[in-house]
Amino acid sequence: MTPVALNAARRTADVTALADGAPLDVLVIGGGITGAGVALDAASRGLSVALVEKHDLAFGTSRWSSKLVHGGLRYLATGNVGIARRSAVERGILMTRNAPHLVRAMPQLVPLLPSMGHAERALVRAGFLAGDVLRKTAGTPSSVLPRSRRISAQRVIEMAATVRRDGLDGGLLAFDGQLIDDARLVIAVARTAAQRGARILTYVAASEATGTSARLTDQRSGESFDVSARAVINATGVWAGEIDPALKLRPSRGTHLVFDAETFGNPTAALTIPIPGEINRFIFAMPEQLGRVYLGLTDEDAPGAIPDVPQPSPDEIGFLLQTVNTALEITLDDSDVIGAYAGLRPLIDTGEGRTADVSRDHAIVDSDSGVISVIGGKLTEYRRMAQDVLDHAVAQRGLTAGACRTHDLPLVGALTNPGSDVALTTDLPESLIARYGAEAGNVVATARCERPTDPVVDGIDVTRAEFEYAITHEGALGVGDILDRRTRIGLVAADRERVVGVAEEFLTRFA
Ligand SMILES: Cc1cc2nc3c(=O)[nH]c(=O)nc-3n(C[C@H](O)[C@H](O)[C@H](O)COP(=O)(O)OP(=O)(O)OC[C@H]3O[C@@H](n4cnc5c(N)ncnc54)[C@H](O)[C@@H]3O)c2cc1C
């Protein structure tokens, strides 16, 4: 199949068609993981669908996550068996069918240090064993996610060299799903939807939404026009209340810090450290692409106006450093932090209590205006959320549509036959395959720039071909789209500065 190309020319054609054209079956508002998932579900059922996103794909919460495809262990511990099971099932679908190229098995390592008492160790061990059962009952084989186990102190140090050694009594190891990047998942889902006919319109904002219409404003030209649809679905995450003021959300901020992986001794496992004084809450130092480690995360009430780009607070940064230092041989401080990011969880307001205890379940809400909103949930469950909201819309609006098909639908780039796939048998950089899967060869083959497999600048593991592909195939329209969402170079300001000029040059040549 020809790789689907989202770019400025396609966007212009789609905006024109939408402004002039026939009513849609479904209009999706919001281009995060939820909206992209809804657009894919609708398009793959044969419905006519357009998705509008005020900024860029993955501009909102979806790019600020921990990039984990959770097995749901945390929900099991809090008694939410239903969410835990659903999460484990969705993780298995993503890792084996939808996006095996974007999700890998991440070893999660709890070092057994003297600060961890017998009861706490037993609790973690029991949790990991429950996670194994959850994986098994969800039908995910141990060849995809290995069983949990206890490992020696020597092995702990091999996997995470900076762990405190004094009194280290081995470690507990379990496996969960880790995305190469959350924004890349959103782009892959949106492009797969486009491949099935969805119109994906970035930099188009929706307002005045009703059950059958919305006003759209092209953020680039300033022009507005109305569209009609048989169902209008609000997937705007923490901004959902702007489309339906009756919705009650309780945003909670989560912050991560970014480090050079060398600072942590180039770990191969996610160091998982209990938060002192808390039961069943941990922070994680996770090995990531581009030679980085992300350390997260916090959970803070974030009332008031919703910022476009949330900012970490000094207290959160202090908390993360202080907690990680309890388990390290070294002492990290502010000067080791090379970047930081914060996101707002779109939690449903259930009243009082800490945000950490608020349910991560999703909900489908019919507003008085007729708009159907999908709120709450987790990135891991986007496919299931989309299925639920489309089932609801189809039944409620009497749409003629097939059954949900996303369960077995590979996203663009999915390696359906990894053993023999052409992308894996060539000399392409490993990082390119990790980000594009079966499309990696195409990223280079379609490039018109000089030296396509050279890095964009020395020391940054992103090729020149990727900048071009972002513009020609992945819908990047500006510098931020390339640096902050198609790639994540922008998470480190110093790296961002070094490549801004290259991104600008590529936009001039290829947009
Ligand atoms: C710190 C943190 C860590 C997390 N970690 C994980 C994790 O590891 N695993 C996991 O499964 N989940 C995780 N989550 C949860 C997950 O990230 C979110 O549930 C998910 O990304 C929400 O996606 P969304 O599409 O609903 O919202 P968003 O990604 O916020 O998308 C909404 C979009 O709507 C657009 N929009 C708003 N108003 C309009 C308008 N009027 N017109 C057009 N567009 C509009 C916005 O620009 C935005 O792009 C985490 C969340 C946080 C905050």
pLDDT digits (tens, 9 = 90+) for 14-29: 999 999 878 999 999 9
CB-CB contact of 96 with 410 (8 Å): no
pLDDT at 330 over 70: yes
Ligand 1 atom with the shortest distance to the CA of 67: 8
52 Cα nearest atom in ligand 1: 43
Q: Which atom of ligand 1 is nearest to the CA of 35?
A: 25
For residue 244, what pLDDT is reported?
94
CA of 60 to the centre of ligand 1 (A): 5
Has residue 126 got a pLDDT over 60?
Answer: yes
Q: Is the pLDDT of residue 4 over 60?
A: yes
Q: Would you say residue 460 has pLDDT above 60?
A: yes
- The protein residue with its alpha carbon nearest to ligand 1, atom 4, reads 65
CA distance 378 to 178: 14
Collapse the DSSP code of 151 into the 3-class scheme (helix H, G, I; strand E, B; otherwise coil) and give the result: strand
Confidence of residue 279 (pLDDT cuts 50, 70, 90): confident
Mean of pLDDT over the chain: 94
In three-state secondary structure terms, 441 is helix
What's the confidence (pLDDT) of residue 170? 98
Measured in Å, residue 346 CA sits from the centre of ligand 1 at: 7
Name the 3-class secondary structure at 259.
Answer: strand
- How high is the pLDDT of residue 31? 98
- The percentage of the chain sitting over the pLDDT mark of 90, rounded to a whole number, equals 87
Q: How many CB atoms lie within 10 A of CB 419?
A: 7
Within 6 Å (CB) of ligand 1, which residues are found? 29-35, 52-55, 59-62, 64-68, 70, 205-206, 235-239, 242, 254, 297, 343-346, 377-380
- Substitution site in 64, 204, 227, 239 for ligand 1 pocket (most atoms within 8 Å of beta carbon): 239
Pocket test for ligand 1, best of 227, 379, 382, 389 (most atoms within 8 A of CB): 379
Q: 362: CA distance to ligand 1 center in Å?
A: 12
Q: Which residue segments constitute the domains of the chain, with CATH numbers given?
A: 8-62+183-248+358-397 (3.50.50.60), 88-179 (no CATH), 250-348 (3.30.9.10), 430-510 (no CATH)
- Ligand 1 nearest atom to the CA of residue 296, by list position: 1
Please give the pLDDT value at position 105.
98
Report the separation in Å between the CA atom of 61 and the middle of ligand 1, taken as the mean of its atom positions.
3
Confidence of residue 350 (pLDDT cuts 50, 70, 90): low
Query: Which residue's C-alpha comes closest to atom 27 of ligand 1?
Result: 237
Confidence of residue 361 (pLDDT cuts 50, 70, 90): confident
- Return the pLDDT at 353: 66
The structure's pTM equals 0.97
pLDDT band at 166 (very low <50, low <70, confident <90, very high): very high
Residue 405's pLDDT is what?
97
**CA 65 to centroid of ligand 1, rounded, Å:** 8
pLDDT tens-digit profile of 40-74? Answer: 999 999 999 999 999 999 999 999 999 999 987 77
Residue 420 pLDDT greater than 80, yes or no: no
**220-251 confidence digits (pLDDT tens):** 999 999 999 999 999 999 999 999 999 988 99
Q: How many other β-carbons are positioned within 10 Å of the β-carbon of residue 437? A: 25
Q: Degrees (nearest 5) of the Cα angle 413, 432, 44?
A: 15
CA-CA distance, 190 to 474, in Å (whole number)?
9
Q: Pick the closest to residue 19 from 243, 182, 215 (CA basis).
A: 215
Atom 19 of ligand 1: nearest residue by CA position: 378
pLDDT at 169: 96
47 C-alpha to center of ligand 1: Å? 24
Q: How far is the CA of 342 from the centre of ligand 1 (A)?
A: 12
One DSSP character per residue, 380-440 reads GGHHHHHHHHHHHHHHHHT-------GGG-PPTT--SSTTT-HHHHS---HHHHHHHGGGH
Looking from the CA of residue 252, the nearest atom of ligand 1 is 53
Question: What atom in ligand 1 is closest to the CA of residue 30?
Answer: 34
